[in-house]
Amino acid sequence: MKKNKREFPKDFLWGGAIAANQAEGAYDIDGKGLNVSNINEFVADIPLADRMERDTTSTFVNEAIESIKNHEGRNFPKLRGIDFYHTYREDLKLLKELGLNTFRTSIDWSRIFPTGVEEAPNEEGLKFYDQLIDAILANGMEPMITLSHYEMPIFLTTHYHGWYSRELIEHFVRYSKVILERYKDKVKYWIVFNQINLIGYQSFCHLGVTEDTQENLLEAKYQGLHNMMVVSAMVKEAAVTINPDMEIGMMVFADQVYPASTKPEDALAALQYSQMDYFYSDVLLRGKYPNYAFRYFEEQGINIAFYEGDEEVLKNTADFLSFSYYYSSLVSKESNENNRSFLSNPELEKTPWGWSIDPVGLRIVLNQFYDRYQCPIYITENGLGTTDIVEEDEIHDDYRSYYLAEHLKQVKEAIYDGVDVRGYYAWGPIDIVSASSHQMSKRYGFIYVDIDDYGQGSKKRLKKDSFAWFQQTIQQNGANL
């Protein structure tokens, strides 16, 4: 009888992941345009719980653009990132020393097509990614590239309505084909959209849809998501003709929930909540809209416009599933009826940013996804965002090593369960600006970057204690876990 192994595969991909908008900086050189993340503002006196972006008005967008153009001094941390645009060579050498054999980053759409509507790409932007991808390969790492990680050119939201506008499909296909053709022999693994299901969190950065786009904002968002799923399938269709060896993946945020009580109504609510998170992967991996979604849309008064050819193109399904995992939550009948909200789990410890710590939930997620799709799976984000204290150029972050070890133990258990897990990418192997709170002080990395929430600091890179732990873990292929 065949037996599963409680060990990581010999060809397992040990990686780290960042995003261009959180790391690169250099927002105003070499022809780059502004993107939707560039206008994320950090204001210290906004309560921590309110820093997670929800919806953004067109008025705020236009005021932020003017502030940036006029250099008014407001604090937009993603304009500067960690200056990876200029430091990537040194940073990648550190990640090679860490032992990574794969590295995930994104290509900033606004660096290639500054407004998104140009007929020809910005060659200076392409030259940067030529050099970056070559450097990733030269340091012995397999690149995994995300085509869209909250980097839509801002013009596409000020002059259109973000992904709600059907015109974006043409512009994104043009951009994608340029990138796939350019790197067809250098990049095997691709993700089209980062966390495509993040409708309630990075809503504006995700969709480019402002809250005053339409009277029925929820409908506008789901229409935008429909357009994104259609274009994802178009990218897969194009990739097959460009280089059939390329693998085109889809990615979700693993929003793991449990029933808030033993009441059957809460169990049903948790199921229904989860179904609408599976909706995106069901479409992109099964090639059609699931029936449960039609009831949800009807009950919410949502009408999705299907255009001629949409159903057929959606049959171009993704090659693999990838996901981010950070926390789990509880759902009750009442919370699910309240705009799909969730509850905190009192049984679990939390990070300083209020995210519950649930390593077992990662094993559950892996099993649920694999049971549903039976396809290769990559964990493309997982990590602990917290504050770090520097003491004489040393950072003693045993808490980070413990957090990651507990999660990786559950990955190993999932492999023993029979799940086809092929890679693990620690989020932010080097400190970058937080996507959700727009802070540098919310740190994930094995490498400390001396920059604060206001861009002050030496930019010096320091290895944290967790650097040596993760280095050892990779060297032993997880046998130390």
- Quote the CA–CA distance of 245 and 373 in Å, as a whole number: 21
Close Cβ partners of 153 (under 8 Å, ≥ 6 residues apart): 33, 34, 35, 109, 110, 113, 114, 115, 116
Q: Name the residue among 35, 377, 19 with its Cα closest to residue 193.
A: 19
Give the DSSP per-residue string, 269-328: HHHHHHHHHHHHHHHHHHSS--HHHHHHHHHTT----PPTTHHHHTTS--SEEEEE---E
Helices (H), 70-159: 84-98, 109-112, 123-138, 155-158
Neighbours of 309 (CB within 10 A): 10
Structure tokens at 136: 């990733």
- Quote the CA–CA distance of 434 and 462 in Å, as a whole number: 18
Residue 443, beta-bridge partner list: 386
Q: Which of 167, 381, 391, 392 is labelled catalytic? A: 381
Range 130-143 burial, b when 16+ CB lie within 10 A, else e: eebbebbeebebbb
Structure tokens at 458: 């030496």
Active site residue 118: no
Q: Which amino acid, one-letter code, is at 458?
A: S
Q: Which amino acid, one-letter code, is at 291?
A: N
DSSP state at residue 394: B
For the annotated catalytic residues, the residue numbers are 381
